[in-house]
Structures are given as C-alpha cells and as structure tokens.
Amino acid sequence: MLNDEKIIKYMSEFYEENEREAFYAYGVIEAAIGKGILFGSLASFTNKFILVGFTDRKLIIIGLDTLGEPKTSRCIDYKNFVSAKIRRGLICMGKTIKIRLSDDSEVHFSLNKHISGLKNQKKNIQAICKSLEPLMNK
C-alpha cells in the first residue's frame, strides 16, 4: 500500500544537490473524452495514476503501475512553466491543475484531498496550489 514514507523515498531519487524536499501528492491523469466515448464505463481503466512533487526547482511526475510502484517519470523545470489554472474537483473533493508549458504543451492532473494511507495529502495540495499562485491569471 502506498504511504507517505514510500512517496518520500520515490521523490528523493529525483532531488539534485541542495534541492529542497517536494510537496507531494497522489493524483490521476484522467482518460481523454474520446477514450471515454470509445470505452464507456471501462474508461476509468485508461486513467493513469501518478505522484506529483513540487520542489523549489521543478515538478516531478512519477507514473505508477497497477501495484502502485514507479513505472515512468518526468521532471519539468519551473522555467518552462507559462501559466497555471486550478479548479475545484468534483464535489469539492480535491483540485484539478492544468499547467501550460513554454512549448505550448500542457500538464493536466487531478488531486483528491483524502487518500487512504497518505496523512499529508490535503496539506500538500494546499501548498502546491499556493506555490502555483504566481502563475495564475497569466
């Protein structure tokens, strides 16, 4: 089962020298609308579960396999961020975050406030949203 200690371990593999520890959260990259139409009620199986970490220098995204183990990863320096949008999630259960990058691509994911086994999820989501405030309204 995923817990705070495991996430901290996974995130620490991406820290550079003198980089501050990440605010981390468990989230999901949801299936595209087209997949939802194509797969119907099975579309949730095409969702990708992720860990996101925001250090003082970069965004870390770790894709998880079905057992919650790291499968893929990507790091994006903040200098590549252009803008950010944060919306309330469904029934105020979390946040949906969209970050536009300098190459016109987007990173889009949802974070729920309450995840079993993760004590710091809600607090970290608040810190992540606060750190993205300077990019809002751009």
Q: Where do we find the tokens 């944060």? A: 86
pLDDT over threshold 60, residue 38: no
- Helix, strand, coil shares of the chain as percentages rounded to 5? 30, 40, 30
Total of domains in the chain? 1
pLDDT over threshold 90, residue 36: no
pLDDT over threshold 50, residue 1: yes
Identify the domain containing residue 100 by its residue range.
4-135
What's the pTM value of the predicted model, to 2 decimals? Answer: 0.84
pLDDT at 91: 64
CATH number at residue 35: 2.30.29.30
Q: What number is the average pLDDT over the span 11-20?
A: 91
**Rounded CA separation 20/54 (Å):** 9
pLDDT at 138: 65
When the pLDDT of each residue in the chain is averaged and rounded to a whole number, the result is 84
Q: What number is the average pLDDT over the span 8-33?
A: 85
Which carries the bigger pLDDT value, residue 32 or residue 71?
A: 71
